[in-house]
Amino acid sequence: MRRIAVASSLVALFAAALAALPAHAQLAVTAAVEYFQWIEDTSPIEVREQGPLFVLGLEYTQPKDQGWLFAYRGKVYTGTVQYDGALLSAPSVPVSGDTSYFGVTNEVQLRYRLLPQRSYRFDLVGGAGYDFWERELSDVQTEDYQVAYVRLGIALDTTSDRGWMLGTGLKYPVWTEEDAHFTDFGYQQNPKLQPVGRVSPYVYAGFRFQPHLALVGYFDSYSFGASDPVTVTSSGGGSTQFYQPASVQYNFGIGLQYQF
């Protein structure tokens, strides 16, 4: 039900954005497949998830030759990846299985565009975004993540029908909250975990081979330090401490972009 509500909200947001855009807006839709990795610094068994995710993205950039301009980046992603790790209640017992992901990202950007040179435009990019994803490890174990982040980078794009698109920079999660749904395991409390954000890089490259079509590839990432521990009590009165270990996320993607 959470996925349906989030997806419905995103569809409504995209529809409203499309309706509000002028006819000459720089608008692009991207369909991509990415290789996803999630690694947790756990002992004695490291938790690792990896596999494919499917991504549908929407981009809007205010059409302007020079100066300050607004941009938007949004995407929906979903897929099932391989889980290798240990039991939550028994960290020395190895287990394998599948993890399902569903997430939504919305990001607004403020860019400063330099005067185009030799069929290319160059932007300085600052952005702020909100990322939500649901991580379903089993029928009874689900985790919800919320991440607010900022981005700082540069972007190069062609102004002609054929040419390169390049970009790179750094992301920093300014706020992170993880809902581990402890009450689903019989605990009486459900405190939220708050992993510590760390700086991580991103980079992308693409080639526009037709006026409306481009092939794009990218690397994106998150890095989190360990959260502070939280204490929960069972119905029998016993208490247990949990924390989210230091984690990293890597996304390697390739996709086809259509620009209107």
> Does residue 6 have a pLDDT over 70?
no
209: how many CB neighbours lie within 10 A of its CB? 11
> Does residue 174 have a pLDDT over 70?
yes
> Does residue 220 have a pLDDT over 90?
yes
Q: pLDDT digit string (tens) for 189-215?
A: 999 999 999 999 999 999 999 999 999
Cβ–Cβ < 8 Å for 59, 27: yes
From CA 45, how far away is CA 65, in angstroms rounded?
53
Torsion sign, CA atoms 140, 186, 244, 197: positive
Q: Which residues pair with 247 in a beta bridge?
A: 40, 224
15 confidence band (pLDDT: 50, 70, 90): very low
> Does residue 159 have a pLDDT over 60?
yes
pTM, 2 dp: 0.89
Cβ–Cβ < 8 Å for 170, 150: no
Is the model more confident about 21 or about 241?
241
State phi, psi for 7 to the nearest 5 degrees.
Answer: -65, -40
53 confidence band (pLDDT: 50, 70, 90): very high
- Measured in residues, the chain has a length of 260
- Quote the pLDDT of residue 29: 97
Q: Which CATH number goes with the domain that contains 184?
A: 2.40.128.100
From CA 214, how far away is CA 212, in angstroms rounded?
7
The range of the structural domain enclosing residue 247 comes to 2-259
DSSP 18: H
How many domains does one find in the chain? 1
The three-class DSSP label of residue 19 is helix
44 confidence band (pLDDT: 50, 70, 90): confident
From CA 11, how far away is CA 6, in angstroms rounded?
9
From CA 176, how far away is CA 145, in angstroms rounded?
7
Q: pLDDT digit string (tens) for 67-80?
A: 999 999 999 999 99
The encoded tokens of residue 163 equal 């040419």
Q: pLDDT digit string (tens) for 123-157?
A: 999 999 999 999 998 767 899 999 999 999 999 99
